Structure 1
């Protein structure tokens, strides 16, 4: 049953001072104490809660010491040396600090077993510590770590690509790339022609020299002075 206070009445409860004025309650905090979880501590008083030591400092609880005999995680207190599984990691309480000992075998980094998540343009699921791709999103394309939305067009390595419902399509080759390759092809063709022509010239010169040498040798054999 709620209490009824007449207008102008003042009262104290815990570390709060109340007053009734024209049907409304006015509250002020007393700086001479601290109220925590229903407990009232006087100014300057120390107390232990969880793995911390607190001091009441003019109405405000202050944590000035962290106890090295336990670890506090999400409101739970674990003694020193205790091992606890949190999400996908094995932790050990070591002098007031949580140390990661290992990753749970059935987890994939931060995802628990059978958990499904989206990364890039793929859906993955965790199967006993291994990430498996279970589907491709049709809203984007992933190329070398880059994500492109559906319908996006871009150039890469002299080619034009577009993302079409999750699949990569090649639209064509850049004109500058084609022109560059045409120039290279023409230069190579000219080089080949020159090499072939030079080879023919050398071959003909060799044949001509052979004929001349044969004629000279014949003339020497027929020279009466050398007989």
Structure 2
């Protein structure tokens, strides 16, 4: 199975081929290619034991970006007949500069730096949580609105009307070209608007404008009344 190994130039290249069924009577070779596909050399592998084949003398990593070792199994010692049983395999060996490696390692953050960064992140999260906790809740907002009825322009009826508009059903009547708003019970009507198109004509599609109907028919499940809004 192909794999990549990192080596320094001059290191022994661990050329090795394991024949899965443990055959001891084969004659594999490793053809070495550089990163441009040029054949650098061919190395014969000898049986070591249990189907493992390795070179009799070490092959050192050349000064190349990387090399590929292509393993070819032959059934004869003259290396003329490639085995039809054992497939080719390949390993890749990449050259590394130890000085570059040291530079990368030295650039890594120290334990103290990592701890300081972590502490800063935790402090920022805590500060944001404090700000969130300080925000008023929905209950607080409702209380503030309720307490301002007498002092401001908003009356309790205004607040209730907004709640009904936002909390109930909305319906477009395509017969009357009107939009109706209901309370949260989805039955009691609280407001009605005439819908107009771009030319000011009644429409239920391509609506450009709505006009409040001053007299609204309020409908419940049991009664129908007319009130002036």
Classify the TM-score, shorter chain.
under 0.3
Relative to the length of structure 2, the TM-score reads: 0.23
Relative to the length of structure 1, the TM-score reads: 0.23
**Structure of greater Rg:** 1
